[in-house]
Structure 1
Amino acid sequence: MSDTAANDQIEKPMLATLLHQGVYRIVMQRPERMNALSTEMMTALSAELQKAADDPAVRVVLLGAEGKVFCAGHDLKELTAARGEADGGKATYERIMRQCSDLMQQVVRLPKPVIAVVTGVATAAGCQLVASCDLAIATDTATFCTPGVNIGLFCSTPMVALSRNVARKQAMEMLLTGESIDASTAKEFGLINRIVPGDYLEQVVQKYAEVIASKSSKTLKIGKEAFYRQLEMPLSEAYDFAAATMVENMMARDAEEGISAFLQKRKPDWTDS
């Protein structure tokens, strides 16, 4: 590749976005950097997620990537460069880890469903990003890994998202061995929802997202928030919270409309209120 071509590739937008029929697609396009979660990439992702949260036309978010690597996790070159700072990089590392943690929580707290579309390798914080999304669809060639232990840096922050999606022993297996798992194993572990042949990925993902986008956004917002909040509660407290949430949901106009439409055997007319 010529220097001009290489520069053109680097200078294109870090993210590509497209809104179609309520589905907002965000695609990381730094394949030459393995779509690493550099400070710049995390800032760009956070900004697009906020746009999605604020735009009433957005009902579902798809998060994908160009290239053979969905996301390689933190930018190790960026982390290594900070070693030369007066404090050995500590302040920079604190800032980067906080920014990454904030990004993952932003995904979870987004009032709209976020679906990871994984077409390659998702490793370290890239695997964490997949685990943080509400749903995940992967090609049959996708792989997943938390390999920090192999370079003397345990995947402690990826562990938070991983351990909330995968059974304890499976999570520890990934964290302690640092070995990759294939898409079939990831589905068995509970890390992803579906496996799709690459040739059919776009068709399946779009249809999958449009089904969710057809629901009341008010209902989806209430449900997503309640799901994550009750996970952290004791059983009795979770039921009290869920019951109160059901009452709140029943008072919404869309619940009244949805129940009426079901009883009258017609399609509901959502107002998202």
Structure 2
Amino acid sequence: MSTPDPLVRTRRCDWYTEVTLALPRRRNALSLAMIDELTGALQEVAASDAAGVLLTGEGPVFSSGHDFADMTGRSYGDMRQLLRRCADMMLLVQQIPQVVLARVQGPALAAGCQLVASCDLAVAVDSATFSVPGGKAGWFCHTPMVAVGRQLPPKRALEMALTGDPVDAATAASWGLVNRAVAASELDEACVDLLGRATRGSRLSKGLGKQTYYSQIGLEQRQAYDVAIEAMAASSQTADGQESMNSFVERRPAEYVDR
């Protein structure tokens, strides 16, 4: 009996891991099986010594969002479970210590747009589009807007959510949904360049910094400082934290334990 092809492929590329949504014939739709495989892939990377993750899709579409064929006829309880598993996967993108960069090679719709918004960084090909189309149909994109709405100013977020219309990559970059939009011939180089710059230095420090950012960003300012102070004081006691200070004082290149 043959083993079915994986829905998500992983490939180690020197200092980072490439994670690919690998169901182009279904436009990389996020079925429950796809969500679970992506969750497993992220967990494996989190436990590895990779410094970063390059998350992309195979074929012309990054991801078309939830797979409606996988949802039709599901009960309320089943839908809650599926949406919870998807939300947990999105949160995992931000919880793992590695920097996660979305390489957006094509359109990102609904939960696919949510996935881009959940990544730490994103570079898109200039022909890509981004949309949360539930606003012009019968099922509003409630959960995608949790992530998208945290990346955009309210008027921009609500324009996307209420109209359901796609925005092009240049607009997405100007609004802050992605870091930059580039020509197709420049996409790979731009992704590796940004991921490389975002992962240099201490891997431990970077992971703590990423997790602290997401912990404090939604808090009131005083509470945010409380979280950040504790994290910064604790990280000052790590070997890499001490090395960062000592190498500066001694005017020498730093030698971090956890690169």
In which range does the TM-score fall when normalised by the shorter chain?
A: over 0.9
**Unaligned segments of structure 2, at least 5 residues:** none
Indicate the residue corresponding to 1:191 in structure 2. 177
Residue identity in the other structure for 1:160: V
- State whether structure 2 residue 67 is matched by structure 1 residue 75: yes
**Contact 1:23 1:213 (C-alpha < 8 Å) held by counterparts:** no
List aligned pairs for 1:99-248, cutoff 5 A.
99-248=85-234
Alignment RMSD: 1.7
Residue identity in the other structure for 1:156: H
User: Aligned partners of 1:142, 1:265: CA distance in 2, in Å?
Assistant: 45
Q: TM-score, normalised by structure 1?
A: 0.90
**Contact 2:31 2:67 (C-alpha < 8 Å) held by counterparts:** yes
**Contact 1:145 1:180 (C-alpha < 8 Å) held by counterparts:** yes
Secondary structure at the counterpart of residue 127 of structure 2: coil
Residue identity in the other structure for 2:114: Q
Indicate the residue corresponding to 1:23 in structure 2. 16
**Contact 1:138 1:195 (C-alpha < 8 Å) held by counterparts:** yes
User: Aligned partners of 1:99, 1:243: CA distance in 2, in Å?
Assistant: 32
- State whether structure 2 residue 37 is matched by structure 1 residue 44: yes
**Unaligned segments of structure 1, at least 5 residues:** 1-7, 84-88
User: Aligned partners of 2:249, 2:193: CA distance in 1, in Å?
Assistant: 26
Q: Map Cα deviations across residues 153-179 of structure 1 (whole Å, 9 max, x no partner).
A: 000001100111111010000000000
Q: Map Cα deviations across residues 68-97 of structure 1 (whole Å, 9 max, x no partner).
A: 1100000011112x25xxxxx222211211
User: Aligned partners of 1:32, 1:222: CA distance in 2, in Å?
Assistant: 38
**Contact 2:99 2:195 (C-alpha < 8 Å) held by counterparts:** no
User: Aligned partners of 2:17, 2:253: CA distance in 1, in Å?
Assistant: 24
TM superposition shift of 1:11 = 4.8
Secondary structure at the counterpart of residue 70 of structure 1: coil
Residues paired across the two proteins, number: 258
Identical pairs, percent: 38
User: Aligned partners of 1:15, 1:199: CA distance in 2, in Å?
Assistant: 24
User: Aligned partners of 1:270, 1:242: CA distance in 2, in Å?
Assistant: 22
TM superposition shift of 1:30 = 0.7
- State whether structure 2 residue 254 is matched by structure 1 residue 268: yes
**Contact 2:123 2:190 (C-alpha < 8 Å) held by counterparts:** no
Q: TM-score, normalised by structure 2?
A: 0.94
Residue identity in the other structure for 1:36: A
Aligned partner of 1:35 among 25, 28, 49: 28
Indicate the residue corresponding to 1:4 in structure 2. none
Q: Which has the higher helix share?
A: 1
TM superposition shift of 1:265 = 4.0
User: Aligned partners of 2:93, 2:11: CA distance in 1, in Å?
Assistant: 18
